[in-house]
Every structure is written in C-alpha cells, then in structure tokens.
Amino acid sequence: MSQSTAVAPGAPVPEAQQDEFNPFLAMAERFDTAADHLGLDAGVRDVLRTPDRELTVAIPVLMDDGSLRVFKGYRVQHNFMRGPCKGGIRFAPDVHLDEVRALAAWMTWKCSVVNLPFGGAKGGVICNPQELSMGELERITRRYTASILDLLGPDRDVPAPDINTNEQTMAWIMDTYSMHVRRTSTAVVTGKPLNLGGSRGRREATGRGVMISCREALKMIGLRPDETRVVVQGAGNVGGIGALLMHREGYKILSLSDVYGAIHDPKGLDMPDVIAWQQKHKRIDNYPKAQKLSVAEQIELECDVLIPAATENQITSKNVDRIKARLIVEGANGPSTAPADKKLEARGVISVPDILANAGGVTVSYFEWVQDRMGYFWTEEVVNSRLEQTMVSAIEEVKATAKKYSVSLRTAAYILAIDRVVTVYRLRGVFA
Ligand code: NAD
C-alpha cells in the first residue's frame, strides 16, 4: 500500500516558516529593495506584491489498493497584467502555500525580465511521487486539472513542468483540459511531448539558458569557459542537462549532486558517462568513477562557478561564509536566502539571479505556446537561436540597469521586471 502523503481538507499541512527560509518573504524583501529604487508608492507596491488569485483544492484519488485518499493542491496566479499567467506545477511532500505564492511571483518577474507577454502563476500538489504508481499519478494529475480548470486556458493560465512533473504530466493535463472544453487545446500547457504540440529544444531550454547566463556573466570576471571549474547541485532537467551542455562547451564540471548525494572529480566529470549512468540507475550518488560527497560538502567546494539547480534555500546564513565560488548562477528558483545574498554581495561574489538565469525554460515555453497557436513548428536551430537572442538581450539589459542604479544583478533584474509590469499597469488602469 502506498504511504504517499495525502492531506485531508482541514488537516494540518506543512507550515511555512516565518524566517529567512520563507520563500515568499524572501521574494518580498527583494521586491521592496527594487521598489525603493523605483520610488513606487505604497498602493502600487501592495497591488504588485499581492497574488491576484489563490485556489486550494482537495483531490480525491482512488489508490491502487482500492482505498480512497485526499491530496491537497494549489494554483496561485500572482499577476496577469502583461498577459496570460504562466508557471509550473510541482509535486512534492513539502509544498506549501507561501512557497507556491513566491514561485508565482517569481514567474511574474521572470517573464517580465525576458520580456515575454505573460504574467506569473504556480501550482503544487502535496504528494510524494516516489511512492506513487503511474496510475495514481495520472489520477492525481487529472483530478487536480479538473479542479482548477476554470482558471486554465491558453489565454488565461498556461502551466508547465516543475519539480517531479514532466512531459507525461503535461500530456495528461492537456488531455483532461481538452476533454472538458470539447476540443483539442494544445496551447493550454507547455513542456509537452513533441508529438503532442511540444517544442523542439524545450527539454534542454532551462539548462541552455543557464549556460548562456553563465557565459555572459563570466565576462564580468574575465574567465573563459575552458578555464572555468563548475559545481552543479541538482541533476534533473535544469542541473543535469545544464552540466551536460556546459561540459560540451569545455567547462570542467567538478561535481554534480542529486537528492541522494554528490559526486566529485577534481579533474572534471565525464558528463555523458555520468548521465548514461543516471539514466540506467535513476540516481548518481553511486556513480563508481568519482569520489562521493554529501550535498552539504559539495556546495562548499573550491570552484569558480556554483550552479544551485535543485531547490530553494540552499545558500543560507548558515553556510554562506564557506561558499567559495566567485560566480553563482541560480538554476533553481530561490536557492539563496536574502541574508546570504547580502553577505555574498559584500564579498564581491556575483550572483546571476534565478529570475534571469533560469528564464530559458519559460522562454521556450513561450515559443511552444506561439507554435501551438500557429499550428506551425520551428526547427531546433530556430528555437535555440531565438532563445540565445532573448537571453543575451535580457542579460545586457540587466547589466545596463545594474550600472545605471549601481546595484547588484539581482536588484537590477527586479527593477527591470517590476518597472515593465508597472508601466503596463499604469497604461491599463485599475478596473473597477
Ligand atoms: P527535477 O525534478 O528535474 O530535478 C531536481 C533535481 O534536484 C533532481 O536531480 C533531485 O534529485 C535534485 N535534488 C532535489 N533536492 C536536492 C537537494 N536538497 N540537494 C541536491 N539535489 C537535490 O527539477 P528541475 O525541473 O530540474 O527543477 C530544479 C529547479 O529549477 C527548481 O527550483 C525549479 O523550480 C527550477 N526551474 C525549473 C525549470 C524547468 O524548466 N524545469 C525552469 C525554471 C526553474
């Protein structure tokens, strides 16, 4: 019998901490810093900080053993001033509402930084996919989709994969939505399989965007890719693919980790071999041709670039003094807490913030949505070159904003993003 986390309506759910580890407070602190630079008044700040809609749903699911369990799911739409909401769906045992709120707000700023015509949203279901069968996962996904259906639609809210969800999950969402609206609607989700309206290059897009961000930021410290030592936390869609692409470009990948542990080779990992091992064994910590480390030890390794690409709150006030990287490229959302950030900045460590560094995924999701609506599909070369253009021009704009306001790349990215949303908000006016 599955022991997966199920939460009955009204039952206690994982509580959000009201400290540096609360992602929504972390987002709000960065927002306030940027809003101060923009001189935003209290009313506009309130509008932009407050999520527009939050839906909590109970998801009854028939388990394989015949029992009935109720899971809890969320969809938060933070802001849709600039266009339909866009944002992933996460399946994890520790999902909580403040986390989903923060992730939704980050999506608003991320879409704005790379200038996509989208607002921000995020979804989550409290469950442990490792303990669920494919059938149970499919039933959770379909019922969750049906429960939030009124919020969804190609012109309303377009989900995508996030932690523990993938192309198959998106295919189930697309099918459930299409069956309800009585027509095939591919543009309702992105990150779909290729033969279901997916885009070429989407699977690699976030890792590719991380690589482009890293290359552009390295110019600020005068290093070339082939002389750069990199540590990557997380071996999933972002970290695993990012490390593989960077290895191909000549970077030395010293270490890679997954939730079970880290592997390390001072001479550089043979990334294609590591990924082949991972595909076979479903984990990398037992890869035999490298030293083993704990994830906590890994993040403190001597290196030039650290890429946290797993989850939130990995660089905190507890370990920041032992972080040795000169450049941090945030593949994950919210991997550094606000107090840690301040310490890194004071030490001259450059951080390419999440809302910029991992925006490659939503950029190609946008391309997928455009292709679905046109019914005409692009080659991988076209997708990759448009991604390159979008990322490079966003990075240039963030660097120019940092120079103009004499601030970090993170504050600059928030200033740029918030200013664009405020401009649209003022043009549209307040609907009464
Ligand atoms: P994923 O589920 O594909 O992979 C996550 C990886 O991190 C796995 O290898 C897992 O084992 C590992 N991991 C989890 N907790 C860890 C820990 N404490 N220490 C070390 N490794 C750990 O997820 P993903 O899609 O790669 O997403 C990773 C991060 O990137 C998340 O913060 C997500 O929100 C963000 N992100 C993803 C995308 C995307 O397109 N997939 C886009 C933008 C941002």
* 148 and 125 part of one domain: yes
Instruction: Answer yes or no: is 387 within a domain.
Output: no
Q: What is the pLDDT of residue 17?
A: 60
Q: Are 90 and 103 in contact (CB under 8 A)?
A: yes
* 253 and 336 part of one domain: yes
* 111 and 245 part of one domain: no
110 is a catalytic site residue: no
Instruction: Answer yes or no: is 371 within a domain.
Output: no
* 105 and 240 part of one domain: no
Residue 231 Cβ contacting ligand 1 at under 6 Å = no
Q: What is the pLDDT of residue 308?
A: 98
Residue 360 Cβ contacting ligand 1 at under 6 Å = no
**What is the tally of structural domains in the chain?**
2
* 136 and 112 part of one domain: yes
Tell me the per-residue pLDDT of 5-25, one tens digit each, with 9 for 90 and over. 443 333 444 455 668 899 888
Residue 311 Cβ contacting ligand 1 at under 6 Å = yes
The tokens describing 380, both together, are: 């991988």
* 214 and 351 part of one domain: yes
Q: What is the pLDDT of residue 75?
A: 98
Instruction: Answer yes or no: is 379 within a domain.
Output: no
What pTM does this model have? 0.94
Q: If DSSP codes are grouped into helix, strand and coil, which group holds residue 12?
A: coil
- Single residue among 196, 220, 242 that ends a domain in this structure: 196
Report the CATH number that the domain containing residue 256 is assigned in CATH.
3.40.50.720
Q: What is the pLDDT of residue 426?
A: 93
* 192 and 214 part of one domain: no
User: Do β-strands 229-233 and 53-62 pair in parallel, antiparallel, or remain unpaired?
Assistant: unpaired
Q: What is the pLDDT of residue 16?
A: 54
Pocket test for ligand 1, best of 111, 241, 258 (most atoms within 8 A of CB): 258
Q: What is the pLDDT of residue 4?
A: 38
Q: Report the alpha-carbon distance of residue 45 to residue 38 in Å, rounded.
A: 11
Q: What is the pLDDT of residue 430?
A: 85
Nearest Cα residue to atom 37 of ligand 1: 162
* 209 and 192 part of one domain: no
- Single residue among 196, 216, 241 that ends a domain in this structure: 196
Q: Could you list the residue range(s) of the whole structural domain that residue 313 is in?
A: 205-357
* 154 and 270 part of one domain: no
Instruction: Answer yes or no: is 402 within a domain.
Output: no
* 248 and 323 part of one domain: yes
Instruction: Answer yes or no: is 21 within a domain.
Output: no
Nearest Cα residue to atom 35 of ligand 1: 332
For helices 239-248 and 202-221, angle between their N-to-C axes, nearest 10 degrees: 60
Going from the Cα of 179 to the center of ligand 1, the distance in angstroms, rounded, reads 31
* 185 and 233 part of one domain: no
Report the CATH number that the domain containing residue 157 is assigned in CATH.
3.40.50.10860
Instruction: Answer yes or no: is 331 within a domain.
Output: yes
Amino acid code (one letter) for 73: G
Backbone angles phi, psi at 65, to 5 degrees: -85, 5
The catalytic residue among 110, 122, 192, 252 is 122
Q: What is the pLDDT of residue 19?
A: 80
Instruction: Answer yes or no: is 288 within a domain.
Output: yes
Using 70 as the pLDDT threshold, list the residues of the chain that sit under it.
Answer: 1-18
Going from the Cα of 102 to the center of ligand 1, the distance in angstroms, rounded, reads 16
* 221 and 345 part of one domain: yes
- Single residue among 152, 169, 196 that ends a domain in this structure: 196
The tokens describing 296, both together, are: 């906590």
Q: What is the pLDDT of residue 229?
A: 98
Going from the Cα of 5 to the center of ligand 1, the distance in angstroms, rounded, reads 20
Pocket test for ligand 1, best of 237, 245, 255, 300 (most atoms within 8 A of CB): 237
Q: What is the pLDDT of residue 170?
A: 98
Query: Edge to edge, what strands does the sheet with 350-352 contain?
Result: 291-293, 261-264, 252-258, 229-233, 305-308, 327-329, 350-352
Q: How far is CA 299 from CA 249, 260, 318, 356, 399, in A?
A: 22, 14, 12, 21, 26
- Residue 333 alpha carbon, nearest atom of ligand 1: 32
Tell me the per-residue pLDDT of 197-225, one tens digit each, with 9 for 90 and over. 999 999 999 999 999 999 999 999 999 99
Instruction: Answer yes or no: is 132 within a domain.
Output: yes
